[in-house]
Amino acid sequence: MARVGLVGGLAAALPLLGSGAATPADELARGVLIERVSALASPDESYALYLPTTYSPDRPAPILYAFDPRARGRVPVERFQAAAERYGWIVAGSNASRNGIAVGDIIGRLWGDTHARLAIDPRRVYTTGFSGGARVASGMGLGSPDQVAGVIAFGAGLPNGARLPKGAGVLLFAGAGLDDFNLPEMRQLAADLDGASIPNRLETWDGGHEWAPPELCTLALEWLELGAMRSGTRTKDAALVEQWARRDEERARQQESAGAAVEAARAFDSLAADFRGLRETAAYTESAARIRGTRAYKDALKAQRDDEHRQSYLAGELGAAIRVLSGDAEGPATALSSLRSAIADLRKAADKPDGGREAHVARRVLGGAWIQALEASNALRASKEYRRAADALAVAGEVRPLGAGQLYELARLRALSGDTRQGLQVLTRAVDSGFSDVAALQSEPDLERLRRSPEFAGLLERARSGKKIE
């Protein structure tokens, strides 16, 4: 699905739904995470839900819609649960929206169901997502800024082809792990948001391409609370304003002391923008300007750009080799050899305990290669290029160990390509890694060739018992 279509589709769909008339939701528990709430109009579709203990149908509450790239609604709801309880927010995480499918109708049903069941403050509707889910969340904000007040985007930015409308009335909190291959995209997004005069904040953490940790999710939600105070959709709380200002100022000064000049300057910029109109901010603007005038800042900015250029170059080299996997008969073998060599070198750099900038770049490149290899395998499987699909999935396994389910998929691909020996070897690894779906092993058509092997019966028994090879 073209990501630019997502923005237009949601812009057309959400206003038709409106905010609806809230109905009592007494059957829904407060203060606990509910993993599955079936949609009234589509019982096969569900979402994870958290209602704060203070929720009352007589008092409309803010809501955060959350989108995970693998339809794991529980994951984001868990991360925002503590903050939602503290500030009285509803959190709804889709169990249907995921990468690779059209999501407009799914979002419309989620929106309609929650607005029919719950008392929602129409001025305080927010979205969040990770990776492809972040593009969904930001697409909603861009497509319907009159209905979505703010966005929290982790690990990815805007829908493909989307443009930032100047001064759009939406807040955007962006975040990425320092080892996330999309970190350069998120930095560029922050710069573009600045240029479009859209209030934003960028935060990073020690991690890769993943949902932000709960403490950062809390920070993001509090930033949206602060924005609501500035706009008047939430009563100003002077004590909270001072508490958050002191916290953020301390974080900015720690970054400066640690030599993170670029991050420190941006943190002071954020302080000036975030608290403008709520408290005095002139000192923050002065601190940001002072840091930007230093040699340390200029050197750090150059190093950051150099690292991004190197990441882009290495990612391009690996990406080209991965794309060759679906090429001519000679190309894939050569590509596989060069891929394995490049991946081995990058893993050495990534695994250095004190690898510094080089290690971060290597981890980001490997993370991107992992995703590309998985996507290449899926595409090759769809075109029935089973051997090459297996090779691409095996490449992903050299970047990062495959899980039990992925090993099972690799065994299926090896079987479909006619390689019984490797198919059995990989299936053994899948069972040893915890794969125990005996029914699938007995009935999956893709494994028919493996089931004719004399070793298969023993493998099936081990799957039943959970015993591994000693």
Report the chain's terminal Cα–Cα distance, integer Å. 47
As assigned by CATH, the class of the 3-235 domain is: alpha beta
SS3 call for 340:
helix
pLDDT at 10 over 80: no
pLDDT at 22 over 50: no
pLDDT at 390 over 70: yes
Q: Quick one: DSSP state of residue 70? A: B
Between 259 and 15, the more confident residue is 259
CA-CA distance, 299 to 297, in Å (whole number)? 5
- Residue 364, token pair as written in the block: 């980001």
Note the maximum CA span of the chain: 77
CA-CA distance, 276 to 150, in Å (whole number)? 18
Spatial CA neighbour of 129 closest among 175, 223, 66: 66
Q: What's the pLDDT at 16?
A: 43
Mean pLDDT of 356-361: 95
Q: What's the pLDDT at 467?
A: 60
Q: What's the pLDDT at 162?
A: 87
Give residue-wise pLDDT tens across range 447-457. 999 999 999 99
Spatial CA neighbour of 121 closest among 36, 164, 59: 59
Average pLDDT, the chain: 91
Q: What's the pLDDT at 333?
A: 67
What percent of the chain is modeled with pLDDT above 90? 82
Other C-beta atoms closer than 10 Å to the C-beta of 363 total: 25
Each as own residue / partner, the long-range contacts of residues 83-87 (CB below 8 Å, 24 or more positions apart, any chain) are 83/214, 83/217, 83/218, 83/221, 83/222, 84/50, 84/52, 84/221, 85/31, 85/50, 85/52, 85/53, 86/218, 87/52, 87/62, 87/221, 87/222, 87/225
Mean pLDDT of 249-271: 96
pLDDT at 127 over 90: yes
Give residue-wise pLDDT tens across range 399-437. 999 999 999 999 999 999 999 999 999 999 999 999 999
Can you spell out the DSSP letters for 386-399?
HHHHHHHHHHHHHH
Side chain identity at 51, as an amino acid letter? L
pLDDT at 7 over 70: no
- Give every CB contact of residue 379 below 8 A, 6+ residues apart in sequence: 326
